[in-house]
Amino acid sequence: TKGARLAEPGEFTKRAFLNGRIDLVEAESVMDLIEGKTEAARKLAINGLEGRISQQIRKIREKLVSVITAIEVNIDYPEYEDIEEMTNEKIKPPLLEIQKMLTKMIADSQTGKLIKNGIQTIIVGRPNVGKSSILNRMLNEQKAIVTDIAGTTRDIVEGSIQIDGVLLNIIDTAGIRETKDVVEKIGVEKSLSLISEADLVLIVLNNNEPLTEEDQKILSSTKDKANIVVINKNDLPTKLDFHELQDRQVVEINTLSEESMLPLYDKIKKMFQLEQIQTKDYNYLSNVRQISLAKEANQHIVESLKNIETKTPIDMVEIDIKQAWEKLGEMIGETYTEELLDELFQRFCVGK
């Protein structure tokens, strides 16, 4: 009745952005801080909120502006003799430096995504090799049903744990095998489809059985993914031929105790360099929008360097340099559309 209304999702953060109090990277970091599930994810968000990532982006934009300005002066005022002539060869060194900075930023973004989203981990294998027992042991709870009957797990079972401050999002899948059971078949198909989406595939084999044709198919279907071959039931007599796995990352475990799982955790730490993450500064891009724009900016710099090599006129080379500058501007919100803002802030809770 007094003109008040319910705040829209993200309205306070959006107002702060529109009024120039924060930039778009800092605004996105507010939501990342709210959603952060680990201490590392929260540190990543705080660094973004404090403007450390934005500083890196602005530094690259300033270098681009210097190059663009030098080219523009030459094009607009060619009659002035006291202005240094700007040629392709003279702009090449700063562009190479900018490309190096962008390439590092993009490479480091993989760590940022890891900290923010965790490691999407899928457990695969044929029925009855102990996948559900491994999930239960990792989560320290009976989340998945365990029986001696092959095909007990029909649908995916999920859970998460932290390893060195990074979330491991684990999915236990239906055992992969040929089956006529309609429900089990759907589960198997879903298991296979999830492999392509995972950051890490744990391929479970039974130490107490020889390698089967189904095992070989699973190994073959996962060879192009980051994977660890988990030899389960190493407390039983070995019947598996380890020579057939000599080119794979292999770890031996059993699910009788928490300590028996430690070799698997150590292998994951080394594979994703989790111990190093603990000592880094957390100044990373961490969302798809930012990373995509950084890649586009980098591609424009690559194109400009290619044009330099083919002796393209400098005013044509400048087009890609300007586009790189604009893409980086989109990252921090120097340029934006209303549609973009609506999409970003609708994820927020009411107010914020």
pLDDT tens string 58-110: 999 999 988 888 887 766 555 545 445 557 888 899 999 999 999 999 988 88
What mean pLDDT comes out for the span 244-257?
88
Return the residue matching tokens 């002066």.
73
> What's residue 130's pLDDT?
85
In angstroms, rounded to a whole number, what is the distance separating the alpha carbons of residues 149 and 155?
15
Which residues are within 8 A (CB) of 253 and not within 5 positions of it... i.e. 6 or more apart? Answer: 134, 230, 231, 232, 234, 260, 261, 263, 264
- Give the mean model confidence (pLDDT) for residues 24-33: 82
Mean pLDDT of 17-37: 80
101-113: b (≥16 Cβ within 10 Å) or e: bbeebeebbebbb
User: pTM of whole model > 0.75?
Assistant: no
Least confident of 46-50, 117-121, 201-205: 46-50
As given in the structure block, the two tokens for residue 253 are 């475990």
